[in-house]
């Protein structure tokens, strides 16, 4: 009987896992490029490959993705505010290198752009030769501290930061290393475009079609585009060296001809194979990508249940015969696309030419606004907006199914208790009223171990004081404490010259770092997990916790570092 109950329970678990399969997820991205525009970049980027790469990246992001560019010299300047790709020109990336480099101010500005939103995929890419330098030594150190503080804030907010250290002539110019806080990528001037392409394509899933090169004869290349019903085609070519490229078998309607970037725009191409005459130095790396606009119409179908919500099936078909599936074939099967429904963008996959989207219950009607095939290098230009009427749901079969499962479980449990009376004690037979007591509450406070001693340091970053200002990080050396007695956070702040009131937070040594105990009403968070009143948490090397005052007027980030005393 016991095995029978286990089997029933497993069936119920599998059933519940299946009916909650669809979960809509917002899929727009926010990306901030932080670019060094100081004089030292003249040597690291003499041909302005960085700026051409930014222009190329804009061509490849989806139109509802939001991108910003912050350039820093002596001060930080927003070159492009955080806005949708479709809303501004790419010419804004033409700027000259001059002045010194204040990277700290720029990174803090980038984090502030992204901080208010917690439901969007956010990223920061820092492009620099690594140098942080201002006229005054104190200002230089302040910029370094601000950069570290910006990285700590980004990590606290779960914003990945990638630092591309640009080298020139094989010589490293990165005077400050921040690898402990962010992913550092070292690259040369000639390899920079490949680095940016790898990040944007692999990490951000920006649109592209991988073109197969079918001819590699000297001075000639042929590429084939795996798409049909093309209205406009853009073939992008990236090169690691300057050179020339000419489309031979069809006249392009427009050409973008930069030193390291070529874009050929073709309206209504008559072929899917394109021949190029190329002239590049030996050893040049060439990368082809394509973005195509395709025409078609949509076939839609609804399915609905009280558990799994709504499933919308969308099949793009050829406008001529209304039968040929535009996205059929091995190239498309299993690939991701994004669908915009009622201002919500949801990622879905293609299977056998059909996109199945799980969406929330929007009522009787929903608006299918846009299908983003850019993730495949495709932009759908057919009827991509439709008002769909949701079918009425029949709840009776599901109610009967749930009732049947509950009945089976109830009867099975009673039968099991009847056959095993000794193993399932009842209140009447085995436990007297005097023995009944509420569950024992687990104590969350610590039993302090006097054998532990303080080591390392605490870095206090004030992200906002009561006046709304950001303060440079302060360091509290734990080795100065003579015994293992707990110390209040207020004492730490006072020792660092910070007049802030955070009563009820104590710090004590642990085997691996320090314990933090919360006896206050202040909200504490570690890795987005709240530390409630009466709770404690251990901080190990480079662990951080965030805390805000009860009135929300002051915020801190406290980081523990296990360091040896000087």
Boundary (domain end) residue, out of 252, 277, 294: 294
* Residue 268 and residue 309 in one domain: no
Q: What is the CATH number of the domain that holds 551?
A: 2.60.200.20
DSSP three-state, residue 434: helix
Q: Residue 365: inside a domain, yes or no?
A: yes
Q: 555 with 534, same domain?
A: yes
CA of 431: how far to CAs of 425, 428, 436, 440, in Å?
A: 8, 7, 7, 17
> For residue 425, what pLDDT is reported?
38
Domain end marker among 145, 169, 203: 203
Are 41 and 180 members of one domain?
Answer: yes
The b/e string for 12-26 (b: 16+ C-beta within 10 A; e otherwise) is eeeeeeeeeebebee
Tokens for 349, please give them: 């996959």
Same domain, 474 and 530: yes
Contact between 280 and 239 (Cβ < 8 Å): yes
* Residues 88 and 100: beta-carbon distance below 8 Å: no
Task: Tell me if 395 is assigned to some domain.
Answer: no
Domain assignment of residue 171, yes or no: yes
Strands 29-36 and 121-128: what pairing? parallel
Q: Which H/E stretch holds residue 492?
A: helix 489-495
In this structure, is residue 431 part of a structural domain?
no
313 and 267 assigned to the same domain = no
Dihedral angle sign, alpha carbons of residues 463, 464, 465, 471? positive
Q: Is residue 62 located within the same domain as residue 190?
A: yes
Q: Are residues 116 and 198 in the same domain?
A: yes
User: Which mean pLDDT values do the consecutive 10-residue runs of the chain (566 residues) have?
Assistant: 47 37 54 92 82 80 84 91 77 78 92 75 88 82 85 86 76 53 78 81 70 76 76 83 87 85 87 87 80 78 67 81 80 79 77 83 66 63 55 56 74 69 39 33 53 86 82 85 86 88 88 88 79 86 85 85 69
Whole-number Å distance between alpha carbons of 311 and 305:
9
Which residue's entry shows tokens 């060094």?
A: 36
Q: What is the pLDDT of residue 12?
A: 40
> Residues 377, 357, 63, CA angle at the centre, nearest 5°?
35
Q: What is the pLDDT of residue 70?
A: 94
Same domain, 37 and 182: yes
Range of the structural domain that residue 267 is part of: 212-294
In a domain, 435, yes or no: no
CA distance 310 to 110: 38
Closest CA to 372 of 526, 207, 220: 207
Cβ atoms within 10 Å, residue 410: 10
Cβ atoms of 543 and 525 within 8 Å: the answer is no
- Both 127 and 180 in a single domain? yes
What CATH code is carried by the domain that includes residue 120? 3.40.50.410
* 400 Cβ neighbours under 8 A, 6+ residues apart: none
| pTM of this structure | 0.54
The answer to whether 357 touches 338, Cβ cutoff 8 Å, is no
SS3 content of the chain, % helix, strand, coil (to 5): 25, 35, 40
Contact indicator for 518, 526 with CB cutoff of 8 Å: no
Give pLDDT, residue 246: 92
Is there a single domain that holds both residue 225 and residue 328?
A: no
pLDDT at position 209: 66
435, HSE (Cβ side, Cα atoms, 13 Å): 6
**166 located within any domain:** yes
Q: Does 1 reside within a domain?
A: no
Residues found in the chain: 566
42 with 184, same domain: the answer is: yes
Helix (H, G, I), strand (E, B) or coil at 411: helix
Q: 216: domain CATH number?
A: 2.60.40
Domain boundary among 347, 370, 389: 389
Contact yes or no for 538/527 (Cβ under 8 A): no
C-alpha 513/C-alpha 453 separation (Å) is: 9
Which run of H or E residues covers position 298?
Answer: strand 297-305
Q: Are residues 378 and 486 in the same domain?
A: no
- The domain tally of the chain equals 4
Residue 437 covered by a domain = no
pLDDT of residue 187: 81
pLDDT of residue 436: 33
- CA-based Rg of the chain, rounded to a whole angstrom? 30
Separation in Å, CA 190 to CA 118, 242, 275, 333, 415: 36, 10, 25, 35, 75
Q: Is 135 helix (H, G, I), strand (E, B) or coil?
A: coil
């Amino acid at each position: 009987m016991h095995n029978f109950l286990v089997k029933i329970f497993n069936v119920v678990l599998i059933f519940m896992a299946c009916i909650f399969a669809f979960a809509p997820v917002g899929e727009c991205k926010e990306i901030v490029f932080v670019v060094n525009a100081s004089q030292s970049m003249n040597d690291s980027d003499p041909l302005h490959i960085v700026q051409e790469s930014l222009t190329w990246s804009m061509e490849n992001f989806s139109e509802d993705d939001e991108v910003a560019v912050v350039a820093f010299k002596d001060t930080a300047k927003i070159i492009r505010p955080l806005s949708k790709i479709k809303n501004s020109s790419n010419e804004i990336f033409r700027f000259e290198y001059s002045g010194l480099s204040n990277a700290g101010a720029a990174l803090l500005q980038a984090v502030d752009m992204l901080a208010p939103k917690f439901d969007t995929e956010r990223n920061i890419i820092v492009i620099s030769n690594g140098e942080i330098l201002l006229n005054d030594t104190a200002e230089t150190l302040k910029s370094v501290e601000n950069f570290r503080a910006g990285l700590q804030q980004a990590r606290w907010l779960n914003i990945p930061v990638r630092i591309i250290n640009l080298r020139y002539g094989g010589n490293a110019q990165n005077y400050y290393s921040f690898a402990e806080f962010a992913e550092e990528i070292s690259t040369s001037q000639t390899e920079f475009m490949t680095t940016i392409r790898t990040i944007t394509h692999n990490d951000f899933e920006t649109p592209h079609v991988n073109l197969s090169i079918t001819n590699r004869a000297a001075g000639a290349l042929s590429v084939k585009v795996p798409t049909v019903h093309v209205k406009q085609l853009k073939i992008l070519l990236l090169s690691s060296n300057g050179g020339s490229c000419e489309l031979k078998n069809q006249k392009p309607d427009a050409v973008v001809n930069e030193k390291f970037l070529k874009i050929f725009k073709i309206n209504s191409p008559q072929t899917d194979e394109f021949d190029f005459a190329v002239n590049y130095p030996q050893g040049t790396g060439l990368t082809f990508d394509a973005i195509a606009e395709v025409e078609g119409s949509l076939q839609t179908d609804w399915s609905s249940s009280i558990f799994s919500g709504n499933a919308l099936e969308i099949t793009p078909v050829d406008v001529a015969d209304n039968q040929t599936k535009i996205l059929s074939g091995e190239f498309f099967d299993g690939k991701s696309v994004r669908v915009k429904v009622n201002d919500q963008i949801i990622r879905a996959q293609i299977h056998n030419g059909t996109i199945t989207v799980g969406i929330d219950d929007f009522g009787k009607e929903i608006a299918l606004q846009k299908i983003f095939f850019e993730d495949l290098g495709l932009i759908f230009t057919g009827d991509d907006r439709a008002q769909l009427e949701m079918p009425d749901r029949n709840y009776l079969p599901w109610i009967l199914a749930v009732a049947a499962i509950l009945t089976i479980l109830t009867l099975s449990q009673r039968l099991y208790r009847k056959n095993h009376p000794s193993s399932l004690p009842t209140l009447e037979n085995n436990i007297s009223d005097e023995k009944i007591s509420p569950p024992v509450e687990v104590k969350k406070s610590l039993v302090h171990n006097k054998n532990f001693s303080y080591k390392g340091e605490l870095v206090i970053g004030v992200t906002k004081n009561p006046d709304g200002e950001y303060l440079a990080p302060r360091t509290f050396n734990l080795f100065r404490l003579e015994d293992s007695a707990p110390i209040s956070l207020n004492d730490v702040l006072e020792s660092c010259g910070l007049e802030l009131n955070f009563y009820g937070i104590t710090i004590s040594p642990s085997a691996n770092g320090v314990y933090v105990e919360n006896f206050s009403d202040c909200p504490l968070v570690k890795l987005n997990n709240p530390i409630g009143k009466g709770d404690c948490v251990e901080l190990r090397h480079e662990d951080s916790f965030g805390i805000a005052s009860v009135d929300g007027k002051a915020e801190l980030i406290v980081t523990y570092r296990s360091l040896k005393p000087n």
